[in-house]
Amino acid sequence: MDNLHYDDFLPHLNSRFQLKADEATHELELTNVTENSPSPRQEQFVLLFRAPLTAPPSQSIYELTHAQLGSGTMFLVPVSRNADAIFYEAVFNRPIEEMQEQQA
């Protein structure tokens, strides 16, 4: 999933991901995709996920699976919590040249 970009995630807003932690699986919902790219040479975007309160309350690299995007790992940080959910954030920040080299 670390080879995916803002344009890859945007069509999947409000879709479900499976987060695997230890022996448990938790369903996450992608609730926000925000682009913050400061220049044409830098890609920055933020993903916000909503998880059940049973999800792990700690930051870590988690295994995620999505029906269309596939499986991979992502560093998630819990950024807030309410009576119903934990919210995780994933921040991507990388140079465009590096991305083009990886795709070649």
pLDDT of residue 6: 92
Return per-residue pLDDT of the chain as tens, 104 residues.
Answer: 778 999 999 999 999 999 999 889 999 999 999 998 888 889 999 999 999 999 999 999 999 999 999 999 999 999 999 999 999 999 999 888 755 555 55
pLDDT of residue 100: 52
pLDDT of residue 18: 97
**Is 40 buried (19+), middle (13-18) or exposed (0-12) by CB count in 10 A?**
exposed
pLDDT of residue 59: 97
| pTM exceeding 0.75 | yes
pLDDT of residue 66: 97
3-state helix/strand/coil string of 10-51: HHHCCCEEEEEECCEEEEEEEEEEEECCCECCEEEEEEEEEE
